[in-house]
Structure 1
């Protein structure tokens, strides 16, 4: 029988990143203190345009603007996005200015994602007084994707949907996993019931949803993580979610690095990432993407690495399983 999972607290998460009182214990001894980026509140910290398979199964160009704003108040154990945030609230007008700056630099796109390393409808992150100005800038896109916590998916979502019309609003939720005890372990500040109520409300309001899922979670073996990722896809698709974006968990987070040193976290192998991608697409229940940022670290073979990453990208775009790569060098 599996031992009960530990539950990380805000204090432990902050201590692991060096932002709070130190904690005793071998896992955190000697860990590298993470640093926050020095950011300009009038500029996004990153922006890009890349192809993505849309809800109609057409490949379109999607602009993603990574907005600079105040840090999310939630202390999820797996999150390292706080590094790209501010310790103070941005001024009214700063977020529209960031979006305008990015749109002036980027090529044309059909859809846009406004990701803010937290929750779009956190009033301390994105000032509500800016919603109308933001809407003026993005309603020309076919789809506007924002990220938000289930407990913040109230009437404000419907109001913003109306502001950006005729664009389709899509809300991305960090479900991470449908393993309920693991949500508590990760200090997510949400339950599966919170998620269920949020997506039900959003779908009733004609707001599309996608979820982020983590592949590889602490205290699970690699095979268990694969199983829970696929079960989490089923959970989301059964509730009408349109898209599951699978993020292979990287050891960029101080707490995860500490767990890796004690053997309580194992990052996914390239083979398990490929297995999840194929099995997820074969479900034919909704779109399945694998986040390919820094994916090369999961494929150690110099001979087949690029081919395997290209295969995953092709599967992301076509939503069709591509024949596996066979490598004479690594035998995989």
Structure 2
């Protein structure tokens, strides 16, 4: 295969474009933070987020850079509870917690089933526990973990896009039918869910990226999720830079993120958030960036559409 093309179904090719992983400690999470999130109560409440260190996800998704903070082998039994206990000791109290693990919580090679009980005990003072999973790992293990928990369980699932052709090219190794089946399984067992949706994955123009982000929100809500988080796609994992050089990928504009969030909120089908991490990547104007960031943050917290930011930069689009 020549370097001028990318066959995205080839895991080895995607991995071959990567840099080195970061050094991690199996007894420590690689990051943690506390942020406000608007809950089902209608209030913006503190939510703890722990980014667990564990074995890399088996799915080599084209756009993913989460592999950078993973191990090559499964962590020892007891390591994940140690990570959670350590992080909780550093954090202020919060009502809700997200355990994000650069893959799937219900992947036994990432989070040992033998640790479920210890994890549940550590989380007993929270109201909600949110974990993430690929649809293929949403099985009876979800119910086992839920039954051990005192807090309510919620599962976040990466839809990424409802465009079937692009979804296949992302090497996600799932279909929209797989996503919907997983959400309906969770719903049948009274487990709330949320979806991750990408804004402008590779192979889409700016307008197409906005269109398919909107369609993906529609699809996720139709399947039964209660919440959608829109993530603007960035580079940084090697293969995305290769696609950029081929003219097949550009980062989306912050204005497009605003448009998609406005659309999601006005649906009133459930909460819709946008990811605010590293937003400067998506802005080409220093004059309006801060105002746009504050507006997006406020819309996340209130789920109300704020007044659009006016800037001369839009006249030159």
- Compute the TM-score of the two structures, normalised by the length of structure 2: 0.95
Distance, in Å, in 2 between the alignment partners of 1:325 and 1:288 is 20
Deviation at 1:194, TM superposition (A): 1.2
Task: Note the residue ranges of structure 2 that are not aligned, 5 or more in a row.
Answer: 1-5
1:241 aligns with 2:225: yes
Distance, in Å, in 2 between the alignment partners of 1:59 and 1:125 is 31
Give the match for residue 82 of structure 2. 97
Give the match for residue 91 of structure 2. 106
Question: Once superposed, what is the RMSD of the aligned Cα atoms?
Answer: 1.4
1:270 aligns with 2:249: no
- Structure 1 contact 55–242 (Cα < 8 Å) conserved: no
- Structure 2 contact 291–309 (Cα < 8 Å) conserved: yes
1:182 aligns with 2:166: yes
Give the match for residue 23 of structure 2. 38
- Structure 2 contact 63–235 (Cα < 8 Å) conserved: no
1:230 aligns with 2:232: no
Deviation at 1:329, TM superposition (A): 6.3
Q: Secondary structure at the match of 1:246?
A: strand
1:208 to 171, 189, 192: 192
1:43-102, Cα deviation, whole Å (9 max, x unpaired): 000000000001222110000000000111111111110001011111111100000000
4+ runs deviating over 3 angstroms: 328-332
Distance, in Å, in 2 between the alignment partners of 1:124 and 1:291 is 28
Farther-moved stretch of structure 1 (220-229 vs 292-301): 292-301
Distance 1:305 1:86, change over 3 A: same
Task: Note the residue ranges of structure 1 that are not aligned, 5 or more in a row.
Answer: 18-33
- Structure 2 contact 274–300 (Cα < 8 Å) conserved: yes
Q: Secondary structure at the match of 1:200?
A: helix
Distance, in Å, in 2 between the alignment partners of 1:8 and 1:171 is 26
Give the match for residue 24 of structure 1. none
Give the match for residue 57 of structure 2. 72
- Compute the TM-score of the two structures, normalised by the length of structure 1: 0.91
Matches within 5 A, 1:85-234: 85-165=70-150, 167-234=151-218
Distance, in Å, in 1 between the alignment partners of 2:203 and 2:252 is 13
Q: Secondary structure at the match of 2:157?
A: strand
- Structure 2 contact 194–228 (Cα < 8 Å) conserved: yes
Distance, in Å, in 1 between the alignment partners of 2:188 and 2:124 is 21
Distance, in Å, in 2 between the alignment partners of 1:8 and 1:282 is 36
Distance, in Å, in 1 between the alignment partners of 2:219 and 2:7 is 24
Distance, in Å, in 1 between the alignment partners of 2:94 and 2:137 is 28
Distance, in Å, in 1 between the alignment partners of 2:137 and 2:31 is 25
Distance 1:217 1:329, change over 3 A: closer
Deviation at 1:137, TM superposition (A): 0.7
Q: Secondary structure at the match of 1:223?
A: helix
1:197-250, Cα deviation, whole Å (9 max, x unpaired): 111110111111001111011111110010000000000001110111000001
Distance, in Å, in 1 between the alignment partners of 2:313 and 2:129 is 44
Distance 1:8 1:38, change over 3 A: same
